[in-house]
Chains A and B, each alone.
Chain A
């Protein structure tokens, strides 16, 4: 009885844990496998490269499927959003870590949490009814009119000023990914040893000089990891982007005109896809999205690990 309780009890418990945990591991592998299998019909028809680089996506007439418009859209939208959000996010992190009094820093941390907690559909709702009309009337139309008269060569770059398109999607997405960059940057700044800033202050450095010379160089890795994490979020963000991007896969994309991303085309067309090839092409887009997300996440993890070693080495 005693043996059952201790020896076998431990064995049984550990085995049970292992089985359940293997379920988690299996889920990740299953995702890769099932997405590949689900998309294999389209991938075999066009070839992986042919599918990824094909510029034509026509489920109705020609029944050809190429994901390049969506890959390009994802790249443009996520990198622009990242670029746009980087400095405000970094500023918020620096402000919370170094400038703000304790209570204000807590407020900023709370706001960052809140920002990450607001559902994507709510951002999208605001984008549809407030941001897109405002941008159309106050930014795009005046600029378009001016360009039409003064600089006609700009018109093809600008595209149709509908409000629902690349520009609006980038703006919404930029504000949605700020908390990811900011939170990691804040943690990285907090991780810099106190002695570093004290030494810099003792040499008579101003607050900004302490930041620039003593803190940011050491926190750099964490900040970069945060941007990669934000990039991963941006690549996978679905609802808010789908709601404001205008859902057009006509290349070339224009600044004001509609576009589409990998998640947005899946969200848009999946329930309407009746033919096997169309469905399979959409799942294949999901498979490509899986690969891109994995690459971005692994890069973030790698950078973060190196950063931790760097800070430890300094200590």
Chain B
């Protein structure tokens, strides 16, 4: 009798175990369902609209078929690249200060404010760049878009730099200091080169994150139908153009929106893969 009861209890527990395992597996599948669908559609719809013209020609007015999105691709690289240049000194310096001068009196406040920035919605960086740059300059420009993306990248860079530098063994610093090197030489010539791979990875990931953003660019870079190389004029980027095409009523533009989505996704994946490769290679 006693063993039978035990048997039943055990069986009930096993049944619960199997049930929960099924539930967990089901939940996991559910979690990735929309990701799979989005990727499948982007591939299926985007590949058909992709051709060489897409990369080599500017967009056409509605009604005319053909054309490409050269102006958006070039614009993405310029605005995002400029943004990275703006963000790099600030992000790196904040990261170095947090990691290499752990007792510095400003650090608690710096960390708090940097984390605050990190959690802010991307669109607020666009508003900030609008108030600070677009308004005084009197018009939309690629440069103001670069500032918006730069603001967005600063806290990301600060955090990744701090994380990477804290992984550098302290013996390396001690060895440098024991040789009589001043602290700034230790940081510049020993710590940063040791952390090179991680730093490059962080920079590339920040670049990839900013490349997909449209919200901060809506009222800064604004968009442009023609190739524009002057950053003082409005410039186009892929996410901006994708948004404009997606809400337009034209069939042809919808196809190009899918292609833009695929190219954008490819650009971001490529950058992320490069980051992963860099972290092993250097």
Binding site for B on A (CB under 8 A): 5-7, 9-10, 12-14, 16-25, 27-31, 34-35, 37-38, 85, 87-92, 94-96, 99, 108, 111, 113-115, 117-126, 128-130, 171-172, 175, 178, 182, 206-209, 211, 229, 232, 235-239, 243, 263, 266-267, 270-271, 283, 286, 289-290, 293-294, 296-297, 300-301
Contacts and interface: CB of A to CB of B under 8 A. Distances in A.
B31 A89 contact: yes
Interface in B3-53: 13-14, 16-17, 20-21, 23-28, 30-35, 37-39, 41-42
B77 interface: no
Contacts of B243: 121, 124, 239, 243
Contacts, number: 262
Interface in B92-110: 92-94, 96-98, 101, 104, 106, 109-110
A182 B242 CA distance: 29
Given A35-B127, A92-B27, A270-B218, A128 B246 contact: yes
Contacts of A207: 17, 21
A30 B114 contact: no
B127 A283 contact: yes
Interface centre among B14, B101, B242 (most CB of A within 10 A): B242
Contact of B185 (A9, A30, A263): A9
B172 to A, nearest CB: 18
A290 B126 CA distance: 13
B128 A34 contact: yes
A30 B183 contact: no
A206 to B, nearest CB: 4
Could you say which interface size class chain B belongs to? Answer: 35 or more
B117 A27 contact: yes
B91 A13 contact: no
Contacts of B187: 13
A interface secondary structure, majority: helix
B123 A236 contact: yes
Interface centre among A6, A28, A92, A117 (most CB of B within 10 A): A28
B215 A239 contact: yes
A209 B261 contact: no
Given A25-B109, A95-B25, A126 B37 contact: yes
B35 A175 contact: yes
A236 B269 contact: no
Interface stretch (B60-68, B151-159, B163-171, B194-202): B151-159
A71 to B, nearest CB: 14
A126 B106 CA distance: 45
Contact of B90 (A12, A20, A34): A20
Contacts of A117: 208-209, 212, 268-269, 272
B212 A126 contact: no
9 contacts: A7-B182, A17-B96, A21-B106, A22-B106, A119-B212, A237-B121, A239-B243, A271-B218, A294-B119
B122 interface: yes
A92 B132 CA distance: 42
Given A24-B155, A126-B41, A208-B16, A115 B114 contact: no
Nearest to A100: B28
Interface in B211-270: 211-215, 218-219, 222, 239, 242-243, 246-247, 254, 257-258, 261, 264-265, 268-269
Nearest to A38: B131
Contacts of B209: 117
A114 B41 contact: no
Interface in B130-164: 130-132, 151, 154-155, 158
B237 to A, nearest CB: 10
A300 B119 CA distance: 10
B247 A122 contact: no
Given A18-B106, A243-B247, A88 B31 contact: yes
B124 interface: yes
Given A17-B96, A125-B257, A238-B123, A113 B38 contact: no
